[in-house]
Structure formats: C-alpha cells, structure tokens
Amino acid sequence: MTTAPRIALVTGGNKGIGLAIARQLAAEGHRVWLGCRDAGRGEAAARALRGEGLDVRSVLLDVTEDASVAAAVAVLEDAEGRLDVLVNNAGLMFASSPSLEAEPLDEIRRMFETNVLGALRVTQRFLPLLRRSKGARIVMMSSGLSSLGDALDLRSETWTVGLGGYCASKTALNMLTVKLAKELASEGIKVNAVDPGLTATDMTGNGAGHAPEVGARPAVALATTHAYGPTAGFYASSPAGELVPVRW
C-alpha cells in the first residue's frame, strides 16, 4: 500500500533558503508547495525541481495581502485537504542605516509587515488545514540577529551589527513562535524558530556566508521532527548537521 506524502508549504520558496528547504523536504518524500508572490517565478522554480524528480508545485501567495493568503488556502484545501508542514520563510531586509535614529520608519514598517505580521497571517489562515494533519509542524525563519542575549554580549559577533528594524522584527517573530507553540502544544502541533546562519542569498547580496543548502538544514530538521521532538525552541545547525539551541 502506498503511503500518502506529507504536504508542505514554504513561503518565499522560489529562491535562496526557501528553495533549498523545498528541495530538501521534497527529497525526503514531501509534496511541497512553493508559496510565491510572483506566479511566473514560482512556477519556474517548481518546474525546475520537478525536473529533478521532486514532487513540487507552486501557489500564488503574498504574505502581506489577506486576499492572497486566503486564495492560497483555498487552493491547498481543494488540492490536498490538509497541510502537514508550514515553513514561514518569506522575509524582507533593507540595507543598514548608520543608526536606528536614522532608519526610515517606512522601511521598518514594511519589514514588520512581512517578517512578523506576514508569518502570523499565513499561520492563522492555514491553521484549519494544519489541524487536519496527524502531526503538523510550523517553522519560523528567524535570525541570530534576533537574539537579545547576543545583542547585549560584547563577545558576540553580532555586537556591532546595526539593522535595528530588521533585528527587532525577528525578535518579535520569536515571541509569536513561543506563544503559538504554547497554544498549540495540546493539539500536537510543534512550532519552532530557526537561525539559518549567515547565508549567501539575494537578501545578503550573495556575499559572505554558507550556501542556502546549509542554511536550510535546521528548518528541515524541525519540519520533520518526530512526536517527541522540540517545540517553542530556537535552533541553528551545527557543522555536523545537528540541531543546536540558540539563546533568545
């Protein structure tokens, strides 16, 4: 008897870490939907992964638009009837200003709309489908820059990093992760945040950092964790690929 594949949705899934997460989940037997705000790029990415023999599809999804998220829910409900894994990967970051005093409020507002409210909007809308899973997993793509402990630690490599608005948005996302994890624990739905580490993507100017395939590892590990796996946690990946706790 053929076992039905687990169904996963990765927002911002047409490139970078999101695409790497999709590829790895699909390689492990998931049917993966790429949630993308550009339908053409989303379908091109899905087609490329299908060319690798992976079960990947695309769905139009702008995390900042209520109507877009609602339409994506309708597509997955009609096609799948449930959702087993939600990876809130879509994110936005603007170049660093000289100081938080000079950082444009409009840019900060847009980052919060995508990084915080977008992730919550998608989660809220997809919860009915996640509740139909026998063991749903929600993964929030956070950042090591969100850590309050590291921000206050002179020894931390992030001590001198600016990006106040971006860092604050990811710290807020961490709190939502904890709150959601507590609320959903009794239903067997696990919610965790991940730090992909410095990763060479379009968001970081494709500069220093490891490959997206490496940055994807902690998200994939938490998306596929077993019934006794963690929830309400914040994790990165060790060089050996093992989950390592990150301080909040």
The 3-state secondary structure of 67-134 reads HHHHHHHHHHHHHCCCCCEEEECCCCCCCCCCCHHHCCHHHHHHHHHHHHHHHHHHHHHHHHHHCCCC
pLDDT of residue 156: 87
- CA distances for 154 relative to 9, 142, 148, 163, 226, angstroms: 38, 22, 12, 17, 37
Contact 195, 217 (CB under 8 A): no
pLDDT higher than 70, residue 157:
yes
Percent of the chain residues topping a pLDDT of 90: 85
Helix (H) or strand (E) holding 46, with range, is helix 39-50
pLDDT category of residue 241 using cuts at 50, 70 and 90: confident
Is residue 166 part of the annotated active site? The answer reads: yes
For residue 168, which phi and psi values (nearest 5 degrees)? Answer: -65, -35
pLDDT of residue 240: 84
pLDDT tens, 182-233? 999 999 999 999 999 877 676 666 567 778 999 999 999 999 999 999 999 9
Q: In this structure, how many other beta carbons lie within 10 angstroms of the beta carbon of residue 46? A: 25
Catalytic residue among 33, 112, 166, 234: 166
Q: Could you tell me the fold of the domain covering 7-245?
A: Rossmann fold (3.40.50)
pLDDT higher than 90, residue 15:
yes
